[in-house]
Amino acid sequence: MAPITKVAAVQAAYVLMDQQATLAKATAMLERAAAEGAEIVVFPEVFIPGTPIWFDTGRIWHGDDQWYAMLVDQAVVVPGPVTEQLGAAARTAGSYVVIGVDEREPHGTTIYNTTLYFGPDGDLLAKHRKLVPTGSERTVWGMGDGSTLGVVETPYGRLGGLTCWEKYMPLARFHQYAQGVDIWAAPTLAVGDAWVATMRHIAREGRCYVIGVNPCVHIAQIPADFPDRERVWSVEEDGEWVEPGNSVIVNPAGELLAGPMRHEEGILTAEVNLAAVHSARRFFDPIGHYHRPDIFRLSVDTAARPVITSHPSPLDVGQD
């Protein structure tokens, strides 16, 4: 029999640009989800240390110097102290954990929109950098490459996914399907019914479970001492909800199992059963009997693109 497990979507508020406070909140929410029996727990996009909300609330690059410096200071180095703490929390919970972070290189200042995957033993199993930041996000986040597009093997099926509007990239979706993704983690900032329809479409197209997870932040939850607080978010212009939430869990038929949850923090849970994935694909398998590789072929470059590649000097070749 295919194993059945419980999954959780943690819809919560980050503490804007405060790495340690948000990490503590993530750990507490993970404990709650595990206490409810969740063995796969998914957190929102860039949850630690939160969304650089200024990219949508003011003129691009107008007075955001201090905010960006905060982001660099509070961003997560992978691997590093934050991943060690997240791994320890995953190990204590005994759960697979998927969580979004603002990532930077140890000596870098470009920020990447990154999703981390931890095993129940605490190991960092994979990371995915968002390939294409959307619109004004490009003023903050760099681009990932094809080396972080894999999936993770679990006893409950293959766990993978893409970040927010990456899911509108048809070939990126197909690459996930081609790797046999069974449980699709979908951290996002996207809101509204149209996005819920996207979650349902991916579940139905891929014949997989989808765990869509948003942050949920009210204006009152922006720290009182945040620099230029009145300018980073305006109630008059932007409304009371910085992040209204929009989390859902969807089955392989595209049916909602939980959510959408909006305007409140909380944890959605649902059972997933790999047998339901397999049976759904007897009608439609996007990489099997419903694919025509004789007509359509996808080529994917999965090579990493490091900043530098070191080569030995020709003078050193052949020397002891």
Query: Catalytic residue among 6, 103, 137, 164, which?
Result: 164
Q: How far apart are CA 69 and CA 52, in angstroms?
A: 11
Q: How far apart are CA 167 and CA 174, in angstroms?
A: 10
List 6, 127, 130, 167, catalytic entry: 130
Contact partners, residue 87, CB within 8 Å, separation at least 6: 118, 122, 123, 124
**Nearest 10 degrees: Cα torsion 189, 237, 13, 22:** 100
Do 179 and 160 meet the contact criterion of CB atoms below 8 Å apart? yes
Q: Which residues pair with 261 in a beta bridge?
A: 247
**Surface-to-core class of residue 2, CB atoms within 10 Å of its CB (0-12 exposed, 13-18 middle, 19+ buried):** middle
> Encoding tokens for residue 6?
């419980």
164 carries an active-site annotation: yes
Largest CA distance in the chain: 70
Strands 96-104 and 241-244: unpaired
Q: Which of 6, 25, 45, 208 is catalytic?
A: 45
**Residues 75, 26, 214, CA angle at the centre, nearest 5°?**
85
Catalytic residue list: 45, 130, 164
